[in-house]
Amino acid sequence: MLLPNSRTEPDGSAVIRVLSHNIRSMRDDTEALARVIRACAPDLVLVQEAPRFFRWRKKLARLAAAADLVILTGGATAAGPAILCSLRATVERTEDVLLPLTPGLHRRGLATAVVRFGGARLGVVSCHLSLNAQERYDQAGVLLDRLAGMGVEHAVTGGDLNEGPDGPAFRRLADSLQDGWATAPWGAEATWTSTGPHRRIDALFATRDVEILGCGVPLGLPGVTEADLKASTDHRPVLAALRVSALVL
CA distance 72 to 93: 9
Which tens digit of pLDDT belongs to each residue from 32-88? 999 999 999 999 999 999 999 999 999 999 999 999 999 999 999 999 999 999 999
Domains of the chain: 11-244 (3.60.10.10)
Distances (CA, A) of 161 to 15, 143, 195: 25, 12, 19
pLDDT at 137 over 90: yes
Which tens digit of pLDDT belongs to each residue from 160-210? 999 999 999 999 999 999 999 999 999 999 999 999 999 999 999 999 999
pTM of the full structure: 0.97
Helix (H) or strand (E) run with residue 127 in it: strand 120-128
pLDDT at 248 over 90: no
**Of the candidates 16, 91, 89, which has an alpha carbon nearest to the alpha carbon of residue 244?**
16
